[in-house]
Amino acid sequence: MNRKTDALRRGAQTYGTAAALLVIVLAFSAIRPSSFCTLTNFINITRQMSLLVVISLGATVVMSVGEFDLSVGQMASLGGVAAAQLAVAGVPLALCFTLPLLAAAAVGLVNGWVVARFRALSFITTLGMSTVLSGVVYRLSGGATVFENIPKGFSVLGTAKLGRIPLLSILMLGFVLLFWFLMRHTPTGRKFYAIGGGEEAARVAGIPVKRCKLLAFVLCAVMACVAGMLIASRVGSANTTAGDGYFLKSYAAVFIGCTASRRGVPNVLGTLLGAAILGVLANGLTMLQMPTYMQDIITGAIIILAVVAQRLGREDGQ
């Protein structure tokens, strides 16, 4: 009897998140079969969730080393505003999308250096950095949306399609594959997980903890910046608060994804599943004309359940 119970528990931990996604899709398909359950809508969902996946991949990396980066929302806003203003200034588009990445890498280095060098709480450190970035964004934009005189080429990344498939969806898939390979099949990824499993043990084993944390924070900041620039490219403008809505959802996707791992650790494919759940929910609830506050309540409840499920999974694995 115990073997059957253990087998069911392991199966729930391994496939429960994917099963939850399937149940949600089937539920909305039954309620709105003519509008939800269509190829066009499913393609649209991949486009809608692509930006969340991009920023969540960075959060996955920094959480794998046992840290948090609360500045990802403001970093996304800064990336979009900086790229848009460079485009308005007539800077070549390649540089418009490259220079903000360098700035993001510098921000990530500062976050990582403070956390690793002084063993400061990443929660407090990145919260302070978020406030700094908020001020920088306001200084650059004056608090106004950047939309005038943006060249048409700026919107290509966010609006182009290959056949029926949005370029954003293709970019999302590319980033997922890249980070999956990094975390699963490279020494760097294994070092990240070793640090997240026990920093002191990793240090004794000879793993360069400070260097790995620096890299994790740099990757997180860069991916947040990429997401912000893609947001601006998609809508053809840059809002000073464009990244605010992605902060909570990005970590929600990571926490939901942790439940897809038997060890309850952040993982790329789990994060993709978590983002898919949030994307399908948002799409379906919008079709049902559900008020925004109800979507927020449901999202928050899912985060709480995911945290509890992650904790229970770790306790069962001990």
pLDDT digits (tens, 9 = 90+) for 27-55: 999 999 999 999 999 999 999 999 999 99
E-strand stretches of 123-264: 161-162, 165-166
The chain-wide mean pLDDT, for the chain, equals 92
**What are the structural domains of the chain?**
19-317 (1.10.3470)
> pTM for the whole thing?
0.94
Residues of the chain with pLDDT > 70, as a percent, come to 93
185 contact partners, CB below 8 Å, separation of at least 6: none
Average pLDDT (165-172) is: 98
Q: Residue 245 CB: number of other CB atoms within 10 A?
A: 14
Q: pLDDT-based confidence at 19, cuts 50/70/90?
A: confident
What gap in Å lies between CA 197 and CA 193, rounded to an integer?
Answer: 6
CA distance 308 to 280: 22
Q: How confident is the model at residue 16 (pLDDT cuts 50, 70, 90)?
A: confident
Is the model's pLDDT at 317 over the cut of 70?
A: no
Q: What pLDDT does residue 296 have? A: 83
Mean pLDDT of all residues in 147-164: 95
